[in-house]
Amino acid sequence: MAQRMDVLFLTATLFLLNLPVLNCEVFTAISHLKALVDVELKLTNYLSRYIADEEQRLNRIKSFYNPSQELPKMNFTNRNEVERYVGNPIYGYQMLRRLVQFSSVEKLIQIDFTRGLVQNLERYKTIFPNEADFKGAQAALMRLQQTYDLPPAVISDGIAPDGPSVAKMSADDTFALGKAAYGSQDYQESELWMKETLRLLDIGRVQDEGPSRFEVLDFLAYSEHVLGKQEAAINHTVEMLRIDPSVERIHSNLAIFRAMVKESKADRKLMERYSKKTATKKVKKERKFPKFYYTPEEDHYQRYLLEKTVAKRLCRGETKPIARELKRKLLCWYKRSHPLLVLKPARIEKVHINPDIFLFRHVLNEKEVQRIKELALPVLNRATVHNPSTGRIEYADYRISKSAWLDNGEDPLIQLIDERVGAMSGLNMKSAESLQIANYGIGGHYDTHFDFSRLTPIRPPPSRRKNGTLTYRYGSGTKTSTIIDKLGNRIATFLLYLSDVEMGGGTVFTNIHQQIRPSMGDAAFWYNLNTDGTGDYDTRHAACPVLLGEKWVANKWIHERGQEFIRPCPLRQYSN
């Protein structure tokens, strides 16, 4: 077959050269032999290119094939092993990266000899991740790095190097992350990941050849230039010129960087003179943004950034200690005041006061948790949020998870959970929503939010109560306003944890600076509304991204209707 292909190739080449196919008699003429010398040279060049192209094609296939075999030594028939594998964000990122590349493998292979592989590619193409999925995984890894303040080396070395399964990143992986950060103009992250790529190149942790040092230095130098680190940019640009001095663009960059260093030195001298003259002037205090939420929202973006910073610190465990006088009121007890709780009383732990936050221990057992997951898995979809301005249900980057809704009639267990939540909380479940199951994967998170709808006002602080005004009254007519008119707002949240999370994944309350760690079978409970019906802004909370492992939760939101005699309104306005 190979000989037949070579003959066809030579014939086609002669045809392209517009030369006749010579017969044996012609070879005796010297003039014709001289002409054939040029033909042979051209054919040799064509064959050389063909062989080089084929070798390059095979090398590209090999470079893809080899890393795909470097899977961890795990028993993938064991469900726990699979969960541990997909719960590691680096394994997940690398798997997505490989599967995205599979879509380009089809172009590199010979269909005649690999028909079975092509058919399989076509068969599984519908479930392959696409480029958007891969970019989402990149964003998730960078979110984990920023939230938990991890150097790129910690992530590339496996996050938890002493754990049972360690996933290490190659220079190809980190280079892709650096390029993604560069493309989104996040030059600080790009600098960090490009430096890590250089480290991995130095120690030889690459797939096939990996990115070239010149490429990495190119991205790194420009990122440093944008960040104002001109000296470092110059050093790396000089190193690039040692590797390849023929690139004119790099010479131009070097001249620009050196000129900027001179300008910055001159500017520094002027600033030093100016600072001496103004040293005696009073320095304005840095403005702090309040935790209250007004309309119109002045400086709402700055407060959003501040809130994100606070949430990241809390996710890292930097919580504030609870005052000693309040600690005395944090008690644990058994609740037996309901027929369902006689044989198995509720174990309740009060973990915070104002707002009151409770932990219910061992609400679900392991079999019940697995059954809930089995029911939710077939109907999981990407989670949506309600836009209070438009009333529309839509996707949002600030909530990355998959969710499913399970009604009481779908399974006896869901009905039992509904009754169990009612018994433990003491609330009427007739106005409760269906059970929402949420699954957080690689870097899955939910930014700071309220569980109650903003159609309900938030109580203003004491200094703003003179005129009795309330805030956040959006127009009626939306789907959410219809639900609130019928059932009232979400008075309380019962948050069930369906998994332990190895690292990360906590629930943090940004205004009271506290965190609740997930524990399978336990549940957190709090009231979203004050007794006068206004929203309690201290219940603002966020779901931290999952660093290692997988996070499953189930939300049971209970509305106001039916609670009038269980939690009556106060006699005074603005009363807890």
158-180 residue pLDDT tens: 887 665 556 789 999 999 999 99
Within a domain: residue 353? yes
| Residue 37, pLDDT score | 59
The token pair that represents 154 in the structure block = 């910690």
Which of these three, 25, 54, 69, is where a domain ends? 69
Give the list of residues 6+ apart from residue 157 with CB closer than 8 angstroms, or none: 166, 168, 169
How much is the CA Rg of the chain, to the nearest whole Å? Answer: 32
Percent of the chain with pLDDT over 70: 66
Strand partners, 360: 348, 523
Residue with structure tokens 């680096």?
90
Helix, strand, coil percentages for the chain (3-state, nearest 5): 50, 15, 35
Point out the domain boundary residue: 69, 89, 113: 69
In a domain, residue 550? The reply is yes
Encode pLDDT of 325-376 as tens digits.
888 899 999 999 999 999 999 999 999 999 999 999 999 999 999 999 999 9
Residue 342: name the closest of 260, 423, 415, 421 by CA. 423
| CA distances (Å), origin 338, targets 423, 426, 520 | 6, 9, 24
- Domain-located, residue 225: no
- The pLDDT value recorded for residue 90 is 84
Residues making up the chain, counted from first to last: 576
Which residue's entry shows tokens 């795909």? 68
DSSP secondary structure letter of residue 72: -
**Domain containing residue 352: CATH number:** 2.60.120.620
- pLDDT (mean) for 468-490: 59
Neighbouring C-beta atoms of residue 131, cutoff 10 Å: 9
**Quick one: tokens of 562?**
């039916």
Give the tens place of pLDDT for each residue, 78-110.
777 777 777 788 888 887 777 777 666 666 665
- Choose between 34 and 143: higher pLDDT: 143
Alpha helices in 287-395 (DSSP H): 300-315, 324-327, 366-376
Tell me which of 46, 69, 92 is where a domain ends: 69
The H-assigned helical ranges of 426-535 are 479-487
Spatial neighbors of 499 by CB under 8 A, at least 6 apart, are 369, 518, 520, 549, 550, 551, 552
450 lies in a domain? yes
Q: What is the pTM of this model?
A: 0.74
Range of the domain at 397: 300-559
CA–CA separation, 383 and 437 (whole Å): 10
Query: d(Cα 567, Cα 563) in Å, to the nearest integer?
Result: 6
What confidence tier does 25 reach under pLDDT thresholds 50, 70, 90?
very low
Report how many domains make up the chain.
2
User: Which of 216, 217, 263, 264 shows the shortest CA–CA distance to 239?
Assistant: 217
Tokens of 95: 């798997």
What ranges make up the beta strands (E) of 290-363? 332-335, 346-352, 357-361
435 lies in some domain: yes
Whether residue 575 is contained in a domain is answered as no
CA angle, residues 465, 471, 476, in degrees to nearest 5: 145
Look at residue 513 and tell me if it is in a domain.
yes
In a domain, 179, yes or no: no
Does pLDDT of 526 surpass 50? yes
Q: Is the pLDDT of residue 18 over 70?
A: no
